[in-house]
């Protein structure tokens, strides 16, 4: 029987072509500026930084950060994603280093990078706590850890998220460029993943504080939150979020 990690790799192997199309669209139509703008608020001006992108997928961060002059090392467990990332970086004339690696067990020395960054990965991990510990390990003292993620499958176990998710227009956008891949495969995998049961970014903040992270910045983007009424009060349920901490 396949392990969870092998099942996850298998799904993202199927999704590699379609996900690459999504990333290229975000770059070509300028949507990438949303992420780049958030990142640059937390970076020193004018410095060429050593950046590690964990779970790089088809190369979104290597492209947009490489074009800004940073030295980017990118890792992913799925070889098909790395193939897409190399091709896409070549397309945009970006030189980045790519390595196949488990995000939960990094083969880098302590204090190797100025920044560790990740997008839409933590929810997909069997050991997110272990991953955060590894990512903080390889960041230098005073360096930054930045995470973009979301409560993508919390609706499986959380009744309030399940209720407000019904009829949400964003659901169809989550599955752009599926290219015939059955999205229910990932939902079945997500049922076994620990963060499908945790409200975030609350879980992330508590975990990172316990690990000694400092200067936490959290942006839940109210425009991307669900809203429910509880005892006459409006309660916000974050969908996507950004976290930046200093080691």
For the chain, domain boundaries = 4-102+110-246
| Structure confidence at residue 172 (pLDDT) | 53
| Structure confidence at residue 221 (pLDDT) | 79
Instruction: Find residue 99's DSSP bridge partners.
Output: 75
| Structure confidence at residue 168 (pLDDT) | 72
| Structure confidence at residue 144 (pLDDT) | 98
Task: Please check whether residue 144 is in contact with residue 114, taking contact to mean a CB–CB distance below 8 angstroms.
Answer: yes
Top-level class of domain 4-102+110-246: alpha beta
Can you tell me the distance from the alpha carbon of 180 to that of 15, in angstroms, rounded to the nearest whole number? Answer: 9
| Structure confidence at residue 176 (pLDDT) | 78
| Structure confidence at residue 111 (pLDDT) | 98
pTM: 0.96
Tokens of 222: 């109210």
From residue 11, give the alpha-carbon distance in Å to each of 18, 84, 137, 160, 163.
12, 15, 29, 28, 27
Which secondary-structure segment (H or E) carries 218? strand 214-219
Task: Please check whether residue 67 is in contact with residue 32, taking contact to mean a CB–CB distance below 8 angstroms.
Answer: no
| Structure confidence at residue 223 (pLDDT) | 74
Residues in the chain, pLDDT under 50: none
HSE-up of residue 184 (Cα within 13 Å, Cβ side): 0
């Amino acid at each position: 029987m396949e392990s969870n990690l092998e099942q996850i790799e298998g799904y993202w192997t199927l999704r590699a072509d379609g996900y690459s199309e999504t990333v290229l669209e975000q770059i070509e139509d300028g949507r990438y500026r949303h992420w780049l703008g958030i990142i640059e608020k937390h970076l020193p001006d004018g410095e060429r930084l050593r950046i590690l992108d964990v779970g790089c997928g088809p190369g979104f961060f290597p492209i947009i950060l490489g074009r800004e002059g940073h030295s980017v090392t990118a890792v992913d467990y799925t070889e098909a994603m790395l193939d897409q990332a190399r091709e896409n970086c070549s397309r945009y004339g970006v030189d980045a280093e790519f390595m196949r690696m488990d995000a939960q067990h990094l083969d880098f020395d302590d204090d190797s990078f100025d920044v560790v960054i990740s997008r839409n990965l933590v929810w997909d991990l069997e050991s997110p706590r272990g991953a955060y510990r590894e990512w903080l390990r390889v960041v230098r003292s005073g360096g930054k850890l930045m995470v973009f993620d979301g409560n993508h499958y919390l609706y499986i176990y959380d009744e309030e998220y399940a209720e407000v998710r019904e009829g949400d227009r964003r659901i169809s956008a989550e599955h752009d460029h599926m290219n015939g891949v059955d999205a229910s495969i990932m939902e079945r995998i997500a049922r076994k993943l620990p963060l499908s049961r945790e409200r975030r970014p609350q879980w992330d903040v508590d975990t990172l504080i316990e690990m000694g992270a400092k200067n936490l910045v959290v942006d839940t983007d109210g425009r991307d939150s669900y809203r429910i009424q509880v005892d006459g009060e409006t309660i916000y349920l974050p969908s996507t979020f950004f976290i930046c901490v200093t080691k």
